[in-house]
């Protein structure tokens, strides 16, 4: 599987425009007296100039390709899909959270373009796939042996807090406002709701995706492998 990264901007991303205190300086400054590593995973330019990217310390100085390859050995059998028929602004947040949980692939359904700023450059390390329609997505999931679970607050939903999520799972999210389309809910094995106790009608789609992903992590992930 390859990264689907159309129209990726060249140069630095949002988290690199105003670099913070995270990261490391040049290798010679942070490891005085130690020879440069000969491991091919290391990037000569980062070793020389320092690494302030939005990556965990275990990946400092690694090339982007090496990081993706390493995550690929540890990705979970969890896929995330989000409908994008009205150019939803929450997709960046969903991608960033999916990257944090080592989700296999994030699927964008509908419009191909989305606002990448919220991804905070994590889309460079996360597998992405585009589907024109919900039907295309459901057909792909069936061929891959993935069970589709929609997340929405509609009558008859199964509470996410008590639901047993399939291990080989595709969690499907709708857009802010309209939620998951009727076609998607009809194709899903079940639709799960997130318990709410306040006055708001719904939770932000990006937040809901994070809650649902973590519910899957609690049920199926090997927590000893977390950073």
Local structure of residue 179 (DSSP, 8 states)? B
How far is residue 130's CA from residue 16's CA, in Å, rounded to a whole number?
A: 27
The answer to whether 80 and 107 have CB atoms below 8 angstroms apart is yes
Q: What is the pLDDT of residue 21?
A: 65
What angle, 0 to 180 degrees and rounded to 10, lies between the N-to-C axes of helices 91-100 and 205-220? 20
CB count in 10 Å sphere of residue 111: 15
Q: What is the pLDDT of residue 5?
A: 43
Q: What is the pLDDT of residue 2?
A: 43
Alpha-carbon distance values, 12 to 8, 9, 16, 52, 115 (Å): 11, 8, 6, 11, 16
The pTM (predicted TM-score) of the whole model is: 0.88
pLDDT digits (tens, 9 = 90+) for 105-150: 999 999 999 989 999 999 999 999 999 999 999 999 999 999 999 9
- Please state whether beta strands 76-84 and 169-173 pair in parallel, antiparallel, or not at all (unpaired): parallel
> Where does the pLDDT of residue 86 fall: very low under 50, low under 70, confident under 90, or very high at 90 and above?
confident
Q: What is the pLDDT of residue 171?
A: 98
Percent of the chain residues past pLDDT 90, beyond the cut: 81
How far is residue 60's CA from residue 77's CA, in Å, rounded to a whole number?
A: 26
How far is residue 45's CA from residue 60's CA, in Å, rounded to a whole number?
A: 12
Tokens of 43: 């990037």
Q: What is the pLDDT of residue 18?
A: 47
Mean pLDDT over the full length of the chain: 91
The answer to whether 129 and 3 have CB atoms below 8 angstroms apart is no
Q: Residue 225 pLDDT more than 60?
A: yes
Q: Comparing C-alpha atoms, which of 142, 154, 152 is closest to residue 175?
A: 152
How far is residue 81's CA from residue 104's CA, in Å, rounded to a whole number?
A: 11
> Where does the pLDDT of residue 11 fall: very low under 50, low under 70, confident under 90, or very high at 90 and above?
low
* Domain 74-225, CATH: 3.40.1280.10
Chain centroid to Cα 209, Å, comes to 10
Local structure of residue 160 (DSSP, 8 states)? T
- Domain limits of the chain? 29-70, 74-225
pLDDT digits (tens, 9 = 90+) for 212-224: 999 999 999 999 9
**Phi (first) and psi of residue 164, to 5 degrees:** -100, 110
Q: Which helix (H) or strand (E) holds 91?
A: helix 91-100
pLDDT digits (tens, 9 = 90+) for 25-56: 999 999 999 999 999 999 999 999 999 999 99
How far is residue 61's CA from residue 82's CA, in Å, rounded to a whole number?
A: 32
Q: What is the pLDDT of residue 17?
A: 44
Residue recorded with tokens 């028929």: 85
The answer to whether 172 and 188 have CB atoms below 8 angstroms apart is yes
């Amino acid at each position: 599987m390859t990264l689907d990264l159309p129209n990726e901007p060249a140069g630095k991303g949002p988290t690199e425009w105003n670099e913070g205190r995270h990261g490391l300086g040049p290798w010679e400054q942070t490891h005085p007296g130690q020879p440069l590593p000969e491991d091919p995973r290391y990037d000569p330019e980062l070793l020389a100039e320092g690494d302030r990217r939005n990556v965990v310390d275990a990946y400092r100085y690694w090339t982007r390709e090496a990081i993706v390859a390493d995550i690929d050995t540890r990705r979970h059998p969890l896929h995330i899909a989000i409908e994008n028929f009205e150019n939803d602004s929450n997709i960046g947040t969903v991608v960033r959270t999916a990257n944090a949980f080592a989700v296999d692939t994030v699927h964008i359904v509908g419009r191909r373009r989305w606002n990448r700023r919220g991804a905070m450059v994590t889309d460079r390390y996360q597998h992405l796939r585009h589907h024109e329609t919900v039907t295309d997505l459901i057909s792909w999931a069936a061929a891959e042996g993935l069970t589709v679970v929609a997340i929405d607050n509609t009558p008859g939903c199964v509470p996410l807090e008590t639901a047993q999520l399939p291990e080989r799972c595709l969690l499907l999210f709708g857009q802010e406002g309209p939620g998951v389309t009727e076609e998607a809910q009809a194709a899903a094995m079940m639709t799960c709701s997130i318990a709410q106790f306040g006055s708001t009608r719904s939770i932000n789609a990006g937040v809901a995706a994070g809650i649902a992903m973590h519910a899957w992590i609690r049920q199926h992930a090997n927590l000893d492998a977390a950073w």
